Copies of this chain bind each other. A is one copy, B any other.
Amino acid sequence: MDPVSELFVATGNEHKMVELRRLFPGIALRLPRELGESGRFEETGETYLDNALGKALHLYRGLGRPALADDSGLEVPALGGEPGVYSSRYGAVAGRKLADADRNALLLEKARELEDRRCRFVCCMVVVLTEVRFLVVQETCEGLLAAGPRGEGGFGYDPIVWLPERGVTVAELSDPEKDEVSHRGRAARRLLALLAAGRARG
């Protein structure tokens, strides 16, 4: 296998792109619009894998170039796993998504009476290299729902996920600290290891 020097990324989320560029320092991450593709893909899957693999395959077919996609969410077991795979659309009305802060407030309100405040971020990350070469990983980051939002870093649910062993929310971590413990950081390191293993074999 040739070394992978660039990957097209199926995302419209700029925050995610910034994180991904930190997490894949040796690989040029490019956006589909650089090749005139919208990369738009409706995330209608029922699992993180459905969405990540669906996005990556769609982009791979459109461009004929190696494609990376991730799908992630926050699960609260005491809420039956909500918001889960619907995390980014949580509380959306008529397809109109809430702003991060409003979504966080909504989830904390629903969780107000919960004794079991455990939660976990999940990230499924997929690379489609060719018609018959796929890399799939799924990783988690365990925490507790905070009493209220704290911290300015990160994005999404980061301000309301408190990490007991660090005593801060994910949004209070520096970028390198977040990458070390986050679901997306763990997934990226496993993907990089798989890419490196393929390179060694090829």
A132 x B45 contact (CB < 8 A)? yes
Contact with B along A110-129 (1 / 0, CB 8 A): 00000000000000000000
CA distance A57 to B136 in the complex (A): 15
Does A198 sit within 8 A of B, measured CB to CB? yes
Interface range on chain A: under 10, 10 to 19, 20 to 34, or 35 or more? 20 to 34
Q: Are A134 and B198 in contact, with the CB atoms below 8 A?
A: no
Provide the main secondary structure of the chain A interface. Answer: mixed
Q: Is the CB of B201 within 8 A of A134?
A: no
| Cβ contacts under 8 Å, A46 to chain B | 1, 133, 198, 201-202
A43 and B57 alpha carbons, distance in the complex (Å) = 19
Structural contact, A45 and B136, CB atoms closer than 8 A: no
Q: A84 to B12, alpha carbons, bound, how many Å?
A: 38
Q: How far is the CB of A180 from chain B (nearest CB, A)?
A: 27
Most buried by B among A43, A47, A58, A132: A132
Quick one: given A1-B46, A46-B1, A201-B46, are A51 and B136 in contact (CB under 8 Å)?
Answer: no
Query: Which residue numbers of A lie inside 8 Å of B, CB to CB?
Result: 1, 43-47, 49-51, 53-54, 57-58, 131-134, 136, 198, 201-202
